[in-house]
Structure 1
Amino acid sequence: MKPEYFDFEHPLSLEKITVLVADFRDWYSKSRRQPTLNGMTPIEYRNHAVLKII
């Protein structure tokens, strides 16, 4: 996780930090477009692969 993620957020509690880290993790692993997946998100890539099989 890059420290720049917190440049505009200044969490003052452990709960807020936990929420921010969880949001970043979800974005990074589910919503981020990835060049290695032809610019698709992981979810789009999985759905595309399933459609090719059917």
Structure 2
Amino acid sequence: ARLIVRASARCQIVVVSHAALLVDALERSLEARSIRLRKEMGETLVEDVERPRWSWPAR
């Protein structure tokens, strides 16, 4: 996590991880922004975000 934080001072970094310890360490960094995902019926969703209303248009 320290290496990622250090490198992030020079560029934007996107980290995708299932490692809770790594995620926790990165979240303690002042500049980190965490976006949590979850699976629901095979679909990947962003947690704590309202989904826009949408339906398939009629033909």
TM-score by length of 1: 0.29
Q: Which has the larger radius of gyration?
A: 2
TM-score by length of 2: 0.28
Structure with more strand by fraction: 2
